[in-house]
Structure 1
Amino acid sequence: MVNKSHVMPDDDIVNARTRLPPLNALRSFEAVARQGSFAAAAADLNVTHWAVGKQIRLLEDWFGLALFERRPRGVKLTDEGAALLGDVGVAFERLSSGADRLRGGRPSRQVSGAVRVNVLVSFALHWLLPRLPDFHALYPGIEVRISTTSRKLRYIGDAFDIGVRSGPEEGAGLVSHPLMADERLPACSPALLRQHPIRTAADLEKHTLLHSASTRGAWAQWLAQAGAPRLRAARHVEFEHVFLQQAAALEGLGVTLASLPLIERELAAGRLVCPLSAPVWSAPAYTLVLNAERGKDPAVETFREWMIRGGLSSKR
């Protein structure tokens, strides 16, 4: 039975709807903001690049202001767009929570099975594992088996259901979907910053720059974007893995060019800081790679949807 005291009068419902921007356009807006380009958003939504562009123009016309800065490589949120994204993210999260409450958790909790997840070590340590307890609480009937490697998934065969890689992978039986943008900024411990402040890119010459074997060219590309391509740092130290590079930054050994989605917790806790807000260097987006033969399995499909929701929240 419906509690009528909680039901809005018809006139109020109509007035509320007239104040809302087009909801399909908001969905496209969120996807472009998360992916960093119209093309990646179109792939994520399974629509054309033209359709996404049309929805963004519709939304910008509705507000009467620009939400994105168009750039040669992708787009960047304007200040107004960033403010809107925060509100849209909260609204989508509330809708998702409301739907879960209405369902009472019954359909999700009844899903059972196993899903084999193959991810990069750094992604597992800093993104997936901290979120995994939430997944187990939501879906106790699903067993998650995690393996880590940087090998191309096409060489692993059918020994995985879902993988996460930097950029898409092509191969028979593989389906790639963008998960979230991999944006990077210099990051270091607060103690290191107190010793030698970093106000411009030129100040990095007083610091040790931290590298990893898989990201050797990242600093050079960032410095070129920052207008300091010939900068000579005090020292360079290279590690075999990205997670060691990040651990070194936490210990105050130098400055790393960090993947922002992977240092969310460290930034929130104040263990790492980003002294410079620009330029933001974009690496290939984190991508979900599905084993097409297992894509319709309920456990695999549930885990995939949960991962995508996590990618949305990481953008906020």
Structure 2
Amino acid sequence: MARSLPPLHLLQLFEAAGRHSSFKKAAEELFLTPSAISHQIKSLEKNLGIELFKRATRGVKLTSAGEKYIVTVQEMFHLLDHGTSSLKREFSAQTQSTLLRISTIPTIASNIIIPNLGVFQQEFPSIELRIETSMELIDLRYDDFDLALRLGNGNYPEVVSEKIFDLQVTPLCSPEFAKKHELSNVEQIKSVPLIQHANMKNSWSQWGRAVGIDNVESKSNLSLGSYDAVIQAAQQGLGLVLGAVPLENLALKSGLLVQPFKEKNDFSPKCFAVYHPRDKERSDIHAFIGWFKELVETSMGE
């Protein structure tokens, strides 16, 4: 039975335009002109006999029919991408390795994964890792990744999420800073330079109250805009920083940082491994998650 389907390239244009709600942005993504996108969308609408977009002077918007159809089209593209990837992994004649594409935040990549890649490659020589770092959330239905490692609450819709580890926050500093200020009692956080994360202005006072210390002023000598930046500043001896364990286990083990006080406080975000339900039987994903979890547990036990 012959199928009456629109041309695939028209569906690709429709999906991009609908996702962006813009012919211009779809054109930029697909290296076409906005007029070409508009012309092709009209061809698709003529093919279907249904209006998919409402045109306005400031852009375009999906009609109710378009909103319903784009769900089907996006699911179709995901199935096609998933099937193509599975075919390549199973039947590729060029390589016997499995490609595992991972998205994670920079700190997890640089502090935990990359320093131990040699160990992973020895244990799983048939798995090729492609790791990209970003702070942005991704949609595993459409983005070109198989697995994401993220900090959050694990409540991500339409995906499988496995908790890898909890986070605890504690003051950290360079060995020289700890020696200079003779740090031994957590009450000293009231009298030494504190490094502040610019987007978490009350973090020191909140942490102090959590461990039973009142009146910790947010009088930091230095405020920086990212977690990695405040950690680097602490390594340079510029002050105390609130660091997350086990993310900083490598720096602690190597002596770049020290933990001068025993007090820690649980941090609400946890580390989760996230993947699509269709990939729940993939051995490479479970191999990496098991290896990563064991790696963190071992480092926390040292």
The two structures have a TM-score, normalised by structure 1, of: 0.59
How far has the Cα of 1:123 moved from its partner?
Answer: 1.2
Q: Please list, as runs of the form range in 1=range in 2, the aligned pairs for 1:116-195 lying within 5 A after superposition.
A: 116-154=101-139, 157-195=142-180
Select 2:269's aligned residue among 270, 284, 299: 284
Query: Aligned partner of 1:137: which letter?
Result: Q
> Hey, what does 1:84 align to over in structure 2?
none
Gap change, CA 1:201 and 1:156, over 3 Å in 2? farther
Select 2:212's aligned residue among 227, 237, 249: 227
Query: Aligned partner of 2:239: which letter?
Result: G
Question: May I ask how many residue pairs the two structures share in their alignment?
Answer: 207
Q: Distance in 2 between matches of 1:197 and 1:161?
A: 48
How far has the Cα of 1:155 moved from its partner?
Answer: 7.8
How far has the Cα of 1:134 moved from its partner?
Answer: 0.8
Does the 8 Å contact 1:167/1:287 carry over to 2?
yes
Return 5+ residue gaps in structure 1 as ranges.
Answer: 1-109
Query: Aligned partner of 2:109: which letter?
Result: A
Gap change, CA 1:315 and 1:279, over 3 Å in 2? closer
Query: Aligned partner of 1:122: which letter?
Result: T
Q: Please list, as runs of the form range in 1=range in 2, the aligned pairs for 1:1-316 lying within 5 A after superposition.
A: 112-154=97-139, 157-213=142-198, 215-232=200-217, 235-316=220-301
Report the structure number with the largest CA radius of gyration.
Answer: 2
Gap change, CA 1:232 and 1:171, over 3 Å in 2? closer
- For residues 186-224 of structure 1, the C-alpha deviation after alignment (integer angstroms, 9 at most, x for no partner) is 010111112212333331233222233554443232111
Higher helix share: 1
Q: Distance in 2 between matches of 1:207 and 1:255?
A: 8
Q: Distance in 1 between matches of 2:290 and 2:163?
A: 12
Does the 8 Å contact 1:207/1:233 carry over to 2?
no
Query: Aligned partner of 2:133: which letter?
Result: T
Does the 8 Å contact 1:184/1:257 carry over to 2?
yes
Gap change, CA 1:143 and 1:188, over 3 Å in 2? same
Q: Distance in 2 between matches of 1:283 and 1:165?
A: 13
For the residue of structure 2 that corresponds to 1:204, the secondary structure is helix
Gap change, CA 1:200 and 1:234, over 3 Å in 2? farther
Does the 8 Å contact 2:193/2:238 carry over to 1?
yes
For the residue of structure 1 that corresponds to 2:237, the secondary structure is coil
Q: Distance in 1 between matches of 2:233 and 2:209?
A: 24
Gap change, CA 1:276 and 1:135, over 3 Å in 2? same
- For residues 28-61 of structure 1, the C-alpha deviation after alignment (integer angstroms, 9 at most, x for no partner) is xxxxxxxxxxxxxxxxxxxxxxxxxxxxxxxxxx
The two structures have a TM-score, normalised by structure 2, of: 0.62
For the residue of structure 2 that corresponds to 1:178, the secondary structure is strand
